[in-house]
Structure 1
Amino acid sequence: MPQYDAYLIDLDGTIYHGKNPIPEAKRFVHRLQEANIPYLFVTNNSTKTAEAFAEDLTRLHGIKTSKEQVYTSAMATADYVASDSFKKGLKKVYLIGEAGLEEAFTRPEIQLVSYDQADYVVMGLDRSFTYQKLMEATFAIQRGARFIATNADTNLPSEKGMLPGAGSLVAALKTATGVAPTIIAKPEAPIMQGALKRLNNPKKPIMVGDNYQTDILAGIQNGLATLLVYTGVSTKEQIQQKEIKPTHEVEHFEQWSIK
C-alpha cells in the first residue's frame, strides 16, 4: 500500500527549473502514474493556463499531463471569488494579470469590468503593469472593492536569476491603499482547499515542494504531511533553523519511495 493516497506537487524548482528538466522528478511522476496514485500539480503561477502548463510538462519535460492535472493560483482565485459571500449574484471584477488569470475568470458567475464598476480588484503577476493600472485599482479599493491577490510571491526563479513576482506588485497596491489583500495561493488555505476538492478530498494527502515558505507551510498550515525536496529554493541550513520541520526531506526524488 502507498504511504500517501494523493500528492499535491509544486512545479518550478520541484519538477523543473524554468525550461530545464529535473530527471529524477520525471521518474518520480512516472512512478506515481504506474502505481495509479492520484496527483495534482499545484502552482502559484497565475500567468499561464492549466492547458499551457500541461503542454509544457508533456512536450518539454516528458511528463504526459492533462489540463485537469494542473491547478493554478489563477484557478483557485476564480473559484474563491465565484463562491465568495462578499457580493451576492454576479461578481464584478477589475482584473490585473495575464492570460492564465483572464481565462480562469471567464465563467458565468463573474464579469470583468472597468475599475469604476468593480466589486473586486483581483491582482496577479502582470508583466505589462503600469501606473495607470495601479491608479485605477487604488480608486476601486478606495470605493469599497474587495482586494484579492493570487499570491504574495516576491520573486520567481528564472534562467537569468530571481525575477520580481506578483507579491512585488501587490505590495505597491497595498502601500497605495493601506488595505491588505486576501491571499489565495500557497501557503494560504484557499488554494489548498480547492486542490484537495479536485482530488476528491483524499484521506491521506501529502504536499511536495522545494520552498518551505510556500509549499511546506501550505501543508503544515492545512494539516497535510509534507515532503521537501532540496532541488530548489530552500536549503538544509535554512530548514535547521525552522521550529516546525517538514514531515520528510530528500535531496532528490530518487530517495523517495511511494510505497
Structure 2
Amino acid sequence: MTGSSADGRLVDAYDLVILDLDGVIYLVDRPIETGVAAVSRLYAEGRPLTYATNNASRRAVEVATLLTSMGLSARPEEVLTSAGAAAEVLAERFPADSAVLVVGAEALRAEVRAAGLRPVARLEDAPVAVVQGYGPQVGWADLAEAALAVRAGAEWIATNTDRTLPTLRGPVPGNGSLVAVLRTALGREPDLVIGKPGPALFTTAARRTGAVRPLAVGDRLDTDIEGAVRAGMDSLLVLTGVSTPTELLHAPVHARPTYVAETLDGLFDPAGVAQLPGPTAMRPTGSTGWRVTREKAIGVLAGSGSRVEALRALCVEFWSAEGPLEVVRPADDEARATLEALGLLAASASE
C-alpha cells in the first residue's frame, strides 16, 4: 500500500497513522519529546490516528489519560490494547460469566470483567481459559496456577509475546519472556496470541476508521513491523525504542519496514525519513549522498548526508541477493562519525 511521493511529506500519503506507544511516544511513563511533538502536530492537522499497543497493563481509558497528561488530545476510542482485544475474543468464545484465569495486571482483569466474564486466580475455580498479559507483579505462583489450568484443559491465550519492554535503563523482560516460562513448562505454544506481530490490532484499526491507506509506526521489528507486514500495510520504524540499526540491517524479510526515521519527526520531514528497499518501494532505494562499495562480504561506506540515508544505503547491500555484509568500514571521518552515531562503528572497527 505504498503511496509516498519522492519529495512530499510521508504523512500526506496515508489516511491513517497507527501508532505504537512504548518506544514511540513514551518510555514507560516518560514522554519522548519528538514523539509527543509529532503526535501533537497530527492532531493540529486533523490527521486520523489510532494507538495500538501490546501492553496489557492499562485499559484504553487509562492510556488516554496518560497521553492527555502529556498534552495530547487522546480519546479512549482511539486506543486499541491487546488486553481489550483479548477480552473481546474470550467473550466471543465462551458464555457469559465463564471463569477465566487471569495472569497479568488489574487492567486485564478489568477488561475480562467488562466483557461479561469472571476473572479468577486458581485452578480450583475451574477456568475455561487462561489469559496471560504483562504485569509487573506477576510471579511464580501466578504462572504455576496458569500451567495447572492449561494442563487441565483450559484454553491458553496470550495478549502478546514481546520479549522485552523499553525502559529508561534499557530493555527489560516483557510478556513474551513470561509466556516462555509457560511454554517451557508445558512444552507447547499458546492456543492464540492476540497482539502484534499478529495483524488483528492493525486490521481492526483500519476497519474502525474506514482507512484504505494506513501507515503503521513502531519501534520494534519483531512486533510492530512484522505485524504491519502480516496486515499488508506500509510501516515506519523509528529508532527511539527497542530495535537498533544493527538489528534493522539483519532483519528477515517478514520484519522489514517500508521506511526508517530516527524519530517520529520523519512523518513530516522528508529529509528525516528514508524509504528502504522492498517490493513496494516508490522512492529510489539507492542513496544519492552515500554509497557502499562491496568486495565479497566487506563493505566501505563513503559519501555524505543524513544518518537515515546512510542506513538506507547499508540496507540495500545487506538485503541484496549477495547476502549480508560481515564488515562495514568507514572511508573517511564523516562516514566514521555516521557509523558511530548509528551504533555500527564498533563492529566495523574491530577488524
Query: What's the TM-score once normalised by structure 2's chain length?
Result: 0.67
- In the alignment, what sits opposite 2:108? 101
Q: Which residue of 1 aligns with 2:92?
A: 83
Give, as a single letter, the amino acid of the residue that structure 2 aligns with 1:65.
A
Number of the residue aligned with 1:255 = 266
Task: State the distance in 2 between where 1:20 and 1:109 align.
Answer: 34
Aligned to 1:145: 154
1:81–1:91 contact (8 Å) kept in structure 2: no
Work out whether residues 153 and 168 of structure 1, in 8 Å CA contact, stay in contact via their aligned partners in 2. yes
Unaligned runs of 5+ in 2: 1-10, 271-351
Q: Distance in 2 between the 1:80 and 1:62 partners? A: 33
Gaps of at least 5 residues in structure 1 are: none
1:12 counterpart letter in structure 2: D
Structure 1 residues 210-249: aligned runs within 5 Å: 210-244=219-253, 245-249=256-260
- 1:164 positional shift: 1.8
For residue 195 of structure 1, give the secondary structure of its aligned residue in structure 2: helix
Q: What residue in structure 1 maps to residue 211 of structure 2?
A: 202
Q: Shift in Å at residue 176 of structure 1?
A: 1.7
Secondary structure of 2:114 counterpart:
coil
Contact 2:56 2:83 in 1 (8 A): yes
Structure 1 residue 65: Cα displacement: 1.3
- CA RMSD in angstroms comes to 2.2
- Residue type of the partner of 1:104? E
Alignment of 1:127-146 (within 5 A): 127-146=136-155
In the TM superposition, residue 258 of structure 1 has moved relative to its aligned partner by 8.9
Distance 1:134 1:23 in 2: 37
Residue identity opposite 2:250 in structure 1: Q
- Counterpart secondary structure, 2:12: coil
Q: Which moved more, 1:144-153 or 1:199-208?
A: 199-208
Matched, 1:40 2:13: no
- Read off the aligned partner of 1:95 and give its amino acid letter: V
**Within 1, Cα distance between the matches of 2:269 and 2:170?**
33
- Cα distance between partner residues in 2 of 1:231 and 1:127: 23
TM-aligned CA distance change 1:231 to 1:130, over 3 Å: closer
* CA offset digits 1:215-244 (Å, max 9, x no partner): 111101111110111212222232122343
Identity %: 34
Structure 1 residues 6 and 258, CA, compared in 2 at 3 Å: closer, same or farther? farther
- What SS does the aligned partner of 1:207 have? strand
Q: Any conservation in 2 of the 1:147–1:179 contact (CA below 8 Å)?
A: no
1:30 and 2:40 are equivalent in the alignment:
yes
Cα gap change, 1:147/1:24 in structure 2, threshold over 3 Å: closer, same or farther? same
Paired residues of 1:155 and 1:162 also in contact (CA < 8 A): yes
Determine helix, strand or coil for the equivalent of 1:2. Answer: helix
Which one is further off, 205-214 or 46-55? Answer: 46-55
- How many residue pairs match? The answer is 255
**Which of structures 1 and 2 has the larger relative contact order (alpha carbons within 8 angstroms, sep 6+)?**
1
**From 25, 38, 62, the counterpart of 1:15:** 25
SS of equivalent residue, structure 2 residue 138: coil
* Distance (whole Å) between structure 1 residues aligned to residue 62 and residue 194 of structure 2: 21
Asked if structure 1 preserves the Cα contact closer than 8 Å seen for 2:199 and 2:228, the reply is no
Which letter maps to 2:188?
A: V
In 2, Cα distance between equivalents of 1:258 and 1:72 = 29
- SS of 1:105 mapped into structure 2: helix
Displacement, 1:90?
A: 5.2
Per-residue Cα deviation, 1:184-226 (whole angstroms, up to 9, x for no partner): 11111233333333x3341111110111111111101111110
Q: CA deviation at 1:253?
A: 2.6
Structure 1 residues 235 and 115, CA gap change in structure 2 (3 angstroms): same
Contact 2:19 2:51 in 1 (8 A): yes
Aligned in 2, Cα 1:132/1:37: closer, same or farther, shift over 3 Å?
Answer: same
